[in-house]
Structure 1
Amino acid sequence: MFARRLIPSTAALIAFEAAARLGGFTAAAAELNQTQGAVSRQVAQLEALLGVALFTRVRQRVVLTPAGRYFADQVQDILGRLGHAAARTIAFDGDGGTLDLAILPTFGARWLIPRMGDFFARHRDVTINFSTRVRPFDLRAEGIDAAIMAAPPSLPGLVHHRFMGEMLLAVAAPSLLRDRAVTGPADVAALPLLQQETRPDSWDRWFTAHGLQRGGGQPLVFEQFLLVIRAAVAGLGAALVPSFLVKDELAAGELVPLPGGELATDGGYHLVYPADRETYGPLVAFREWLLAAP
């Protein structure tokens, strides 16, 4: 339980933040359209409440004390988050606002981002802040509105929609195959293999589906599918990747399919968000657009 008696008024915090940022009461008063005396009184009341000096008065100017510098950093963060929260609360009853969206890097670059022009044309008043995640994370702890994940979330209190399936395709660069006879899935076992780190059993499942066992060599492991794809193009090994992620490389002849065809998986791509964000305006707009996307 926080100490209510120590919570200053918002007006005092705003006056202090302006004075700290601008380096004086006069400049703060001009920005806030108040008198210099009013700003000085609000800061004095704040110091009295806290029992510590926030400024040192030196002739015609004020300088933050060590306590003042610390408090100024905290107040700037608090006021920023308060304003951000207010704007996002307003967006619950409107179509505009900001959506903080975490995406898978390669999926984002190769599938989502090329389609976002259509979304923004339909929702000009929605802003999306994109960030990337590869490993599982807690949306609520990180203040993320929604995320696109390759598996349903395991944490309670989250809503998820599977909007896209996935087919895995084994591919390799022509240079890797030049001096090798690869005529069937069994020959793939002799190739060096590339693997994305969050799919540690994908090659095992691929070989099992063809009645085979993976060879004894350890695959090269990469954090992102984009790195797996570029390593495959460089001839470092065979890659097992979602087929839609390598359309460009296949069309350009940088990669070729290996024998065995596509492998259906139980996975896919999911839009995930906390249940309490379900009616948040920007999320509603993005969810409806995403679930209808071709």
Structure 2
Amino acid sequence: MKHHLPTTKNLQAFLATAQHLNFTHAAQALNMTQGALSRQIQALEDVVGVALFYRQARGLSLTPQGSKFIPLVEDILTRMRNAMLEVAERSNRIKLNAPSCLTSWLLPKLMSFQQFYPDIEVELTSSIKHQVLPNFDEFDLVILYGKPTQSLSVTQYVLFDELLTPVCSPELWKVTLDDDWQESDLSRFTWLHADIEQQDWKLWIKSRNSGLQKAKRNQTFSTLDQAMNAAQQGFGIAIGDITLAKQDLNMNRLMRPFETAVASGQSYCLLRPEQAQETSIDSFINWLLEQSAT
């Protein structure tokens, strides 16, 4: 067998000829002349180094090698079609990975983007645990929580910095405290934590310097969105990011007793591979950055 590969025309000509076992009918099916089809078959046989058809006076028939070659060629052409479809679809599909706590903040922005860019699909996958490194093997864009990366292999965009403050349901606040409440009265609530180390509450207490130490009752959750959901339902008071809680605050599902918020030093950053240059991704990034600024 020669070292170069057959062309797709060679393979298509072979399948048509194997189906019809007639050069004339196969040529008509492919909208080409009988001579051109015969040359395609001859070129394919030269490449593979064996005869694929018996050419007899009463017509064509497949050689054993030709019969064996049919499913292989069908598989090759099917894989090629699927690969072309995948490339075409992927050019207008963006795979985005983000922490689950961003879902309520992110979904309205994705829906708005879809209205302005109906031909670009954003496929969102949520992660329960915060990742340390972006996974660009499976995703085109990744949103990470933490300190902005210094990696030279990625381009990053800070969506917003984390600002923390206590939040709870308005109904729970009215039932638990009167108008003359003191900051120390916060200990009367069940404190809701998004991590076992209770870092957010510790940071808030340190920033207030009010002598408040800890609550009598505590409940720990595995994610921030679980803790915030519990706060909405009146189970206690949580420490939440004011950007992520904005919609719930505006709709009066949550309230913030304090106007001040403490910066945690962490941010939510959108990351992309340094070498990635795609129009659809650029459009989405610009849109998300614009929406994040409002």
TM over 0.5: yes
3-state SS in 2 of match to 1:102: strand
Shift in Å, 1:82? 6.8
Of 177-186 and 156-165, the range deviating more from structure 2: 177-186
Partner of 1:18: none
Is 1:144 the counterpart of 2:139 in the alignment?
yes
Distance 2:7 2:193 in 1: 53
Distance change (3 Å), C-alpha of 1:209 and 1:131 = same
3-state SS in 2 of match to 1:197: coil
Distance 1:230 1:137 in 2: 25
List per-residue Cα deviations over 1:43-73 (Å, max 9, x = no partner).
724889xxxxxxxxxxxxxxxxxxxxxxx9x
Shift in Å, 1:233? 2.4
Shift in Å, 1:289? 1.6
- How does 1:105-184 map onto structure 2 within 5 Å? 105-109=100-104, 111-134=105-128, 135-136=130-131, 138-140=133-135, 142-151=137-146, 152-153=148-149, 157-173=153-169, 174-175=171-172, 178-180=175-177, 183-184=181-182
- How does 1:13-32 map onto structure 2 within 5 Å? none
List per-residue Cα deviations over 1:56-114 (Å, max 9, x = no partner).
xxxxxxxxxxxxxxxx9xx98997567524654xx4xxxxx1111112333232x2221
Unaligned runs of 5+ in 1: 16-24, 27-32, 49-71, 92-96
The higher radius of gyration belongs to 2
Aligned residues: CA RMSD: 4.4
Distance change (3 Å), C-alpha of 1:106 and 1:76 = farther
3-state SS in 1 of match to 2:106: helix
Distance change (3 Å), C-alpha of 1:252 and 1:127 = closer
Partner of 1:235: 234
Contact 1:191 1:237 in 2 (8 A): yes
Shift in Å, 1:208? 0.5
Identity level (%): 16
Distance 1:145 1:47 in 2: 35
Of 139-148 and 149-158, the range deviating more from structure 2: 149-158
The letter of the residue matching 1:163 is: L
Partner of 2:270: 271
Is 1:292 the counterpart of 2:286 in the alignment?
no
Distance 1:252 1:292 in 2: 23
Distance 1:119 1:198 in 2: 36
Distance 2:260 2:159 in 1: 23
Partner of 2:99: 104
3-state SS in 2 of match to 1:205: helix
